[in-house]
Structure 1
Amino acid sequence: MERILVVGVTGAGKSTLARAVGERLGIPYHEMDALYFAGPNWAVNDKLTEEITRIAAEPQWIIDSIGYPEVRDLLWDRADTVLWLDYPRRVVMPRILRRSLRRTVTREVLFGGNKETWSGWLSREHPVWWAWSQHARRHREIADRADDPRFAPVQTRQFKRPADTATWLTSL
């Protein structure tokens, strides 16, 4: 495990796991949303592809994302391991609700200086709505990629329950 993607639906715990694995293995961790969102009003980084190309060329990295569409194939082509947090909605939804509520109430500064807002909860792109609406689609997309012969060298480890993930992490 040298070049690792941690994938799953929004709120599954990708960043938390990626950070922990990176620390245990001494592999540099890169937060995809911090790379993607470049500034206020959720502005997208126009140099994302260049930055991901540079990171993906490194011998070791861990990224907490399936990858935004413009860099997805690049990451999957270079990854040697995929850690898939394939948790059901009943696990993910309470997590994302708690996280978004905390971020909204505390006005936590996120990627590019952005914050979750009360009015943002009404948007279809809010993390809570996104996690709910994209859950089945993201599962299919990850399963298709895991089975795709183009990415055959990638070893995929699928976790269906947080307890299984925790046990595996402890064994590292």
Structure 2
Amino acid sequence: MLKVNVVGTSGSGKSTFSRKLATKLQVPHIELDALFWLPNWGETPDEQFFEKIRQETATERWVLDGNYNRTVPVKWRDVDTVIWINYSYTRTVLQAVKRAFIRSLTRKELWAGTGNKESFRKSFMSKDSVILWTLKTYHSNVERYESMMADPQYAHIQFIRLRSPSQSKAFLAKL
């Protein structure tokens, strides 16, 4: 495992897992959200976003955290391992709700230099709610990643599907 992409539905725990994995492997942790989001919740245009990904993944070893399906041709160009955090729907939604609640209380900046913080209104009463996003994308993410795992064009990638926190913990312990 030299170049790893950790994927999973929003709220699944992929960032937490990615940080632990990067620490264990002693490699940089790259968070796609940090590359994408601009101040005031602005979005980086795709060409600039893709270039940021190319620059960050130009090294020999890394753990990349995030989905952004449109980035697959860029981020999977050299990837050797994809770890899919695929906990149950109920667990993932509950984790997303808990995270949103804590973030709305602490008002901690999510990505350095952006000033972006989650608020109760944005998290729980907005069409842009990360909770709503989790509810809407969970099942399509399962279908997409199952399809990608079976796709011959990705045969060079080792896919690891972790279905529970205990599996994730055991995986990290074995490293």
Aligned position for 1:158: 161
CA distance in 1, matches of 2:174, 2:163: 17
Shift >3 Å, 4+ stretches: none
1:83-122 equivalence runs, <5 A: 83-111=83-111, 112-120=114-122, 121-122=124-125
User: Which SS does the other structure have where 1:77 is aligned?
Assistant: coil
Q: Does residue 8 of structure 1 match 2:8?
A: yes
Structure 2 CA distance, aligned partners of 1:22 and 1:115?
25
Q: How high is the TM-score relative to the length of structure 2?
A: 0.91
In the alignment, the residues of structure 2 paired with residue 152 and residue 168 of structure 1 have an alpha-carbon distance, to the nearest angstrom, of: 22
SS state at 1:157 partner: strand
Deviation, structure 1 residue 157 = 0.6
Q: For this pair of structures, how many residues does the alignment match?
A: 170
Deviation digits for residues 84-138 of structure 1 (CA, Å, limit 9, x no counterpart): 1111112112211111001111212113211112221222331111111110001
Matched, 1:51 2:45: no
Mind listing any 5+ residue stretches in structure 2 that lack a counterpart? none
Residues 81 and 157, structure 2, Cα contact 8 Å, conserved in 1: yes
**Other-structure match for 1:167:** 170
Aligned partners of 2:9 and 2:143: how far apart in 1?
Answer: 11
TM-score, scaled to structure 1: 0.93
CA shift for structure 1 position 68 = 4.7
> Structure 1 residue aligned with 2:141, among 120, 138, 143?
138
Q: Secondary structure at the match of 2:77?
A: helix
Amino acid at match of 1:132: L
For structure 1, the residue ranges without an aligned partner over 5 or more in a row are none
Judge conservation of contact 2:50–2:74 (CA < 8 Å) in 1.
Answer: no
Coordinate RMSD, CA, aligned: 1.3
1:58 Cα deviation after fit = 2.0
Aligned identity (percent) is: 27
Structure 1 letter corresponding to 2:89: R
Shift of 1:36: 0.6
The Cα of 1:57 is off from its aligned counterpart by: 2.7
Q: Determine the C-alpha separation between the residues in 2 that align with 1:55 and 1:115.
A: 24
In 2: Cα distance, 1:68 partner to 1:151 partner: 14
Q: Which amino acid aligns with 1:134?
A: T
